[in-house]
């Protein structure tokens, strides 16, 4: 493979994105002989390398994600609800482990080594997913083996992502000296477009080869035609993700020394030098024994609190003949991801967040700025909790209650997610230009105002789809155009919030905590994915479940509402087909239809956006001049 060619191609592509002449581009790489270089007007070549590496990693991440929930729910026969909970737990841990990866990078390995380690682990994890799916059709104990391999694969990918994610993002900020920090919003917008270009490729290729249905279908007893998904095809989606991650890791391995450097030519992201002082900041964190005790006590207290909150007595009842703590913990074992992984994510996030603030070397200004990051990260929870339904509940709705026919072509339901990546690729640069023009006129809103706007746009997207599904019959389906509109509004919101959020971390984080606080930013993502899984599991049974029950002579609506007492055969039917016995509930209210389900997102997102906007004056004061 000619990596010089890949470098040149990547560089030319970025130049085109920046509307530059590739033969006279402002991406200039200073040499060691330049003693007093002028401040460059463009962006360093290292941004192109990081762009490409992240693009392939996002292909791997989002491509695998398109088919993950369907694979768990249908091939592994675990049902929509458990698939949603596993999906949320997996993604939550993916965005919690950057705390660990960031710490190890800052203290021991450095950005570069962590990126290579993380990329390799994720490629191996995807190959394990390929093996799990390759065992289908499962015979005898093979189903149990496939599930075990799946759990192991997700664990490897989770830790690989933890090493990779905070370090690649942190290196973008390190490419720019202090006098060029004003470029970070634009740089992260370009970088974020790389994320979504990779997501677009992954969300197109992986479902195209991994989510396949029999085109001829089968004729049922009542004369209707039904297409059947080829459950053995999921493996090809996972294999494509593995190849992409391998390619991204190799690109970084061969190009990092040449392009990922400072203006003076020094490598960025090497092993940390504990004796180096960066920009007049303290070099080392100072944590006392008391700080460690605070971390342990806070983490344990929050864990048990959230464990109790996540316990649903209706769906996880205490077994007969048991009581007290023994019965309580036995009931929790019915859904270990929800009752152990979710509380662990939230407890670890809060505990580590408090732990950082106990660092004795923090100045008052640094502490205030870190608090700003925590405030913003809290509101990001609601954004990602709603936005990432694309890989969970929205995929199930696209699969069962959406007509995905586009001009005679039947789009794979899991591919509908690709509209988000498409819209970001098309709109990232126009949004960047818009922010630049507003900045020149002193009209650009500060970062948190942009994020408040993003939250409200997410809520409006769900409001449109909620009104469309109101009164939707069991046999009816919505047109795919409504999901396209939802993804368009969500893309507007994403471009307001996510790239600007990454830039804000780079501006506010003390250098000695660069990667760790980038990991703290992903705390909001981790908790948001916990909310994603929790809310996706609230999806009431879709039309296919009612039709299946009707054919079996089971009154599903009566059972769910409590009007009909299910017989032993009814319960057996529900268990076999992984259909719940009661309607899901949220904050004391039963979710009985899709309209009520989507209105949960409308209320949460719009309310969060309004509150965040109201906090803008306080955030401005605590930011101490950083916008």
Asked, for residue 212, whether it belongs to a domain, the answer is yes
Q: What Rg, from alpha-carbon coordinates, does the chain have?
A: 25
Digit-coded pLDDT (tens) for 237-276: 999 999 999 999 999 999 998 888 887 888 888 888 766 5
For a pLDDT cut of 90, what percent of the chain falls above it? 45
Torsion sign over Cα 417, 420, 426, 428:
negative
Asked, for residue 545, whether it belongs to a domain, the answer is yes
Q: In the predicted model, what is the mean pLDDT of residues 197-215? A: 91
Asked, for residue 32, whether it belongs to a domain, the answer is no
Asked, for residue 535, whether it belongs to a domain, the answer is yes
Asked, for residue 280, whether it belongs to a domain, the answer is no
> Are 243 and 327 members of one domain?
yes
Q: Is the pLDDT of residue 16 over 50?
A: no
Q: Is the pLDDT of residue 32 over 60?
A: no
Report the Cα 80 to chain-centroid distance in Å: 19
Digit-coded pLDDT (tens) for 540-563: 998 888 888 988 899 998 999 888
> Are 548 and 479 members of one domain?
no
> Are 429 and 466 members of one domain?
yes
> Are 164 and 108 members of one domain?
yes
Residue 9: per-residue pLDDT:
38
Q: Is the pLDDT of residue 206 over 80?
A: yes
Asked, for residue 426, whether it belongs to a domain, the answer is yes
Residue 2: per-residue pLDDT:
44
Structural domain including 567 reads 541-582
- Packing angle of the helix pair 110-134, 46-70 (nearest 10 deg): 30
> Are 45 and 70 members of one domain?
yes
> Are 434 and 557 members of one domain?
no
The pairing of beta strand 402-403 with beta strand 225-226? unpaired
| Residue 606: other Cβ atoms inside 10 A | 19
Average pLDDT, the chain: 84
Whether the bond between 247 and the residue before it is cis, its omega within 30 degrees of 0, is: no
Digit-coded pLDDT (tens) for 454-465: 999 999 999 999
> Are 318 and 206 members of one domain?
yes
> Are 454 and 552 members of one domain?
no
> Comparing 180-184, 313-317, 335-339, which segment has the lowest mean pLDDT?
180-184
> Comparing 84-88, 482-486, 495-499, 555-559, which segment has the lowest mean pLDDT?
495-499
Looking at the 3D structure of the chain, how many domains does it have?
Answer: 2
The model's pTM is 0.85
Highest mean pLDDT pick, 4-13, 196-205, 356-365: 196-205
CB-based contacts of 416, cutoff 8 Å, min separation 6: 394, 395, 398, 402, 404, 480, 483, 484, 487
| Residue 179: other Cβ atoms inside 10 A | 8
Q: Is the pLDDT of residue 429 over 60?
A: yes
CATH number at 122 reads 1.20.1250.20
> Are 505 and 574 members of one domain?
no
Asked, for residue 563, whether it belongs to a domain, the answer is yes
| Structure tokens belonging to residue 451 | 């994020």
Q: What are phi and psi of 608, to 5 degrees?
A: -65, -40
Residue 262: per-residue pLDDT:
83
Digit-coded pLDDT (tens) for 133-175: 999 999 888 999 999 999 999 999 999 999 998 888 778 878 8
> Are 438 and 568 members of one domain?
no
CB-based contacts of 432, cutoff 8 Å, min separation 6: 185, 186, 189, 190
> Comparing 52-66, 275-289, 380-394, 595-609, which segment has the lowest mean pLDDT?
275-289
Residues 285-289: contacts with CB within 8 Å, 24+ apart? 285/359, 285/361, 285/512, 285/513, 286/359, 286/360, 286/361, 287/355, 287/358, 287/359, 287/360, 288/358, 288/360
Report which of residues 40 and 115 the model is more confident about. 115
Asked, for residue 30, whether it belongs to a domain, the answer is no
Q: How confident is the model at residue 225 (pLDDT cuts 50, 70, 90)?
A: low
Q: Is the pLDDT of residue 37 over 70?
A: no
> Comparing 86-95, 204-213, 271-280, 569-578, which segment has the lowest mean pLDDT?
271-280
> Are 524 and 557 members of one domain?
no
Residue 376: per-residue pLDDT:
86
> Are 390 and 528 members of one domain?
yes
Residue 224: per-residue pLDDT:
55
Residue 25: per-residue pLDDT:
42
Residue 222: per-residue pLDDT:
53
């Amino acid at each position: 493979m000619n990596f010089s060619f890949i470098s040149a191609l990547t560089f030319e592509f970025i130049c085109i994105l920046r509307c530059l002449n590739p033969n006279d581009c402002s991406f200039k790489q200073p040499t060691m002989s330049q003693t007093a270089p002028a401040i460059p007007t463009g962006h360093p070549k290292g941004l192109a390398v990081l762009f490409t590496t992240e693009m392939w990693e996002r292909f791997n991440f989002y491509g695998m994600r398109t088919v993950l929930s369907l694979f768990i729910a249908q091939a592994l026969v675990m049902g929509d609800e458990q698939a949603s909970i596993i999906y949320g737990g997996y993604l939550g841990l993916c965005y919690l482990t950057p705390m660990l990866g960031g710490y190890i990078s800052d203290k021991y390995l450095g950005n570069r080594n962590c990126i290579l380690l993380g990329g390799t682990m994720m490629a191996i994890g995807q190959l394990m997913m390929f093996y799990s799916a390759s065992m289908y059709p499962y015979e005898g104990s093979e189903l149990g083996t496939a599930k075990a391999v799946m759990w192991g694969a997700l664990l490897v990918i989770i830790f690989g992502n933890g090493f990779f994610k905070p370090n690649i993002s942190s290196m973008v900020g390190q490419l720019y000296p202090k006098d060029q920090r004003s470029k970070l919003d634009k740089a992260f917008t370009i970088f974020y477009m790389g994320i979504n270009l990779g997501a677009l490729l992954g969300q197109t290729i992986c479902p195209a080869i991994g989510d396949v249905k029999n085109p001829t279908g089968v004729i049922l007893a009542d004369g209707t035609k039904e297409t059947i998904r080829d459950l053995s095809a999921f493996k090809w989606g996972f294999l494509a993700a593995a190849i992409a991650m391998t390619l991204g890791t190799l690109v970084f391995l061969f190009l990092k020394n040449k392009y990922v450097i400072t203006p003076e030519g020094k490598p960025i992201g090497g092993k940390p030098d504990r004796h180096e002082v960066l920009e007049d900041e303290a070099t080392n964190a100072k944590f006392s024994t008391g700080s460690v005790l605070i971390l342990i006590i806070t983490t344990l207290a929050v864990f048990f609190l959230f464990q109790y909150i996540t316990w649903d007595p209706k769906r996880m009842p205490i077994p007969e003949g048991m009581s007290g703590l023994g019965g309580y913990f036995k009931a929790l074992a019915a859904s270990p991801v929800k009752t152990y992984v979710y509380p662990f994510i939230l407890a670890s996030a809060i505990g580590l967040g408090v732990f950082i603030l106990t660092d004795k070397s923090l100045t008052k200004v640094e502490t205030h700025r870190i608090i700003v990051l925590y405030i913003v990260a809290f509101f990001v929870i609601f954004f990602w909790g709603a936005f990432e339904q694309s890989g969970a509940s929205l995929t199930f709705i696209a699969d069962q209650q959406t007509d995905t026919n586009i001009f005679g072509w039947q789009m794979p339901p899991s591919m509908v997610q690709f509209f988000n990546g498409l819209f970001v690729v098309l709109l990232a640069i126009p949004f960047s230009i818009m922010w630049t023009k507003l900045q020149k006129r002193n009209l650009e809103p500060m970062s948190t105002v942009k994020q408040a706007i993003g939250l409200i746009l997410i809520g409006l997207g769900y409001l449109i789809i909620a009104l469309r599904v109101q009164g939707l019959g069991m046999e009816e389906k919505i047109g795919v155009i409504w999901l396209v509109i939802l993804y368009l509004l969500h893309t507007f919101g994403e471009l307001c919030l996510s790239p600007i959020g990454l830039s804000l971390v780079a501006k506010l984080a003390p250098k000695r905590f660069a990667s760790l606080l980038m990991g703290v930013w992903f705390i909001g993502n981790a908790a948001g994915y916990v909310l994603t899984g929790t809310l996706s599991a609230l999806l009431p049974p879709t039309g296919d479940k009612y039709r299946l029950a009707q054919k079996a002579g089971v009154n599903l609506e009566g059972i769910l509402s409590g009007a009909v007492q299910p017989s032993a055969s009814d319960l057996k039917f529900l268990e076999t087909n992984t259909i719940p016995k009661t309607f899901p509930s949220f904050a004391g209210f039963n979710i009985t239809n899709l309209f009520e389900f989507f209105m949960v997102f409308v209320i949460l997102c719009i309310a969060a956006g309004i509150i965040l906007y109201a906090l803008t004056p306080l955030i401005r004061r605590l930011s101490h001049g950083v916008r």
